[in-house]
Amino acid sequence: MRAVVQRVSFSHVDVEGQCVGKIGKGLTVLLGVMDGDTDEDAEYIAKKVALLRIFEDEQEKMNLSVKDVGGSVLLISQFTLAGDARHGNRPSFSTAAAPEIAEPLCEKVVASLTSKGLSVETGRFRTHMEVTLLNDGPVTILLDSRRQF
């Protein structure tokens, strides 16, 4: 499972011109479920997102988590994170999990984040989404449950 985590001042996601998820200060998480991912991968990503210390403390050091600052999470599924463009110019998405597997795993990440006391908004699975955000910093962190980076 891969995640792109962005510290944001605000973020929202629209489907067909209507807002389906919106947060203020917090984290926007683009989540890609890979073939072979399990509940353990979902929990790893959720734990990392919840505990990432990428918000500044009083000394302007990144020492605080999203929960520490009272922030929220906007989680958006994004199968293109499984894209492999090493061979040619058109990415292959053959390593992306099938939607029947990916959607429940995305829901597990949401449930785990919620159980950790976080307010979580989401996009809408298998739709064309438009994401608007103001990246704060900018701070962007890449996570991989298989620890490839």
Tell me the per-residue pLDDT of 87-119, one tens digit each, with 9 for 90 and over: 999 999 999 999 999 999 999 999 999 999 999
What is the DSSP secondary structure assignment for residue 44, as one 8-state letter? H
Strand boundaries in 16-128, DSSP class E = 18-23, 26-32, 55-56, 62-64, 72-77, 119-122
Q: Is the pLDDT of residue 59 over 90?
A: yes
| pLDDT at residue 148 in the model | 80
pLDDT digits (tens, 9 = 90+) for 34-52: 999 999 999 999 999 999 9
In-domain check, residue 149: no
Tally of structural domains, the chain: 1
Q: What per-residue confidence (pLDDT) applies to 22? A: 98
CB 1 within 8 A of CB 42: yes
Tell whether 21 is covered by a domain.
yes
**Structural domain containing residue 130:** 2-144
CATH at residue 94 = 3.50.80.10
- Indicate the pTM of the whole model: 0.96
Active site residues: 78-80
